[in-house]
Amino acid sequence: MKDAAQDTLLFTIFTATYNRARLLTRLYESICHLSGHDFEWVIVDDGSVDDTEAVVRGFQEAADFRINYVKKANGGKHTAINTGVAEAKGRFFVIIDSDDQICPDTLTHFHEAWLAIPDAEKDHFDSICGLLVDDRGQVIGDRFPDDVFDSDNIDLKYKYRVKGDKLSAVRTEVLRKYPFPENVGRFIPESYVWYQIGRDYRSRYINKVVATAEYQIGGLSDRGLELGISNPRAMTLYYSSLLALWSRLPMRELARSAVNLSRFGMHAGRLVWAESSLKALILQVFLFKVGCFLYLKDKRTMGKGDRCSNEHDKG
């Protein structure tokens, strides 16, 4: 094991984990097969009560790359990401979940794609992004419109309608400018930050498979409504931020955001009104009754209890 990282590495591979010791060995073995670049692995343990720490200590003793293990009080994946970004020594930050496996040539693909961006334009780009496949080798969601495609996180989803989880190498210095809010509960959609970044930076998307993903039953992807109701302050912040993208989003998404701003405001115990523009406020008022209907439906469906657990899978 290397005792210390270089002053600056090219990549930080980051994993947030919560009671997933049983999955980490598979991810670790895939990281061991990476080729081509200096990197570190930063693991932030968000309050696990299983044997995660002992498992990671074993990795540290065996690995020929630096593994930085940080254990913190449980706060949710978004707070773990903030901790990982603060710890990172890599120029690029790669978020890979405990149930994923990274491909051997992933860092090479990311680095080559970054070098292909003209130097005069690099400051305008925040990341390189590649494809995920499932355990059958099928691409998750959609491929990008071209094999090398420049856009941003907002237009990729709402203009080009590219669906499905992807894997990115994001400039660490950019992530430090856009931290996740930590006083809003144990969950906030990660796209809250990605869309903030997308307002100011472009990304280069490549049709290269960079990781294999597996979705766990009971993970974040499985519990969207439950997590929203359990973290209503975060959801009002999220939908307020979407309404602030008025000129970038289709009307159906703006309408959905206006409805959910009212809906989750009621779950939070206070009405939250759109402040980004008069148009957004008028839309919210017009659709207010729909928000009330969904709030009452939520109460019947989920009850008043906070059932949110704190697994760290794809959200």
What's the whole-number mean pLDDT along residues 242-264? 98
Q: Give 39's DSSP letter.
A: E
Tell whether the model's pLDDT for residue 108 goes beyond 50.
yes
- The pLDDT of residue 93: 98
* 90-95/148-151 β-pairing: unpaired
What's the whole-number mean pLDDT along residues 129-155? 97
pLDDT band at 301 (very low <50, low <70, confident <90, very high): confident
This prediction's pTM:
0.91
- The pLDDT of residue 224: 66
pLDDT band at 162 (very low <50, low <70, confident <90, very high): very high
- Taking only the tens place, the pLDDT of each residue in 170-215 is 999 999 999 999 999 999 999 999 999 999 999 999 999 999 998 7
pLDDT band at 303 (very low <50, low <70, confident <90, very high): low
- The pLDDT of residue 311: 41
Q: What are phi and psi of 81, to 5 degrees?
A: -60, -45
Q: How far is it, in rounded angstroms, from Cα 257 to Cα 290?
A: 11
Check residue 36 and give left, alpha or beta (phi > 0: left; psi -120 to 50: alpha).
left
Tell whether the model's pLDDT for residue 3 goes beyond 50.
no
pLDDT band at 4 (very low <50, low <70, confident <90, very high): very low
Q: How far is it, in rounded angstroms, from Cα 249 to Cα 31?
A: 37
Tell whether the model's pLDDT for residue 218 goes beyond 70.
no
Q: Residue 27: which H helix or E strand, with range?
A: helix 21-32
Q: Tell me which residue has tokens 């989750």.
A: 264
- The pLDDT of residue 278: 98
CATH class of 9-214: alpha beta
Tell whether the model's pLDDT for residue 307 goes beyond 60.
no
Average pLDDT, the chain: 92
Tell whether the model's pLDDT for residue 290 goes beyond 60.
yes
- Taking only the tens place, the pLDDT of each residue in 90-103 is 999 999 999 999 99
Question: What whole-number percentage of the chain has pLDDT above 90?
Answer: 86
pLDDT band at 1 (very low <50, low <70, confident <90, very high): very low
- The pLDDT of residue 302: 73
Tell whether the model's pLDDT for residue 217 goes beyond 60.
no
Give the start-to-end residue ranges of the domains of the chain: 9-214, 222-302
- CA-nearest of 8, 172, 195, 10 to 82 is 172
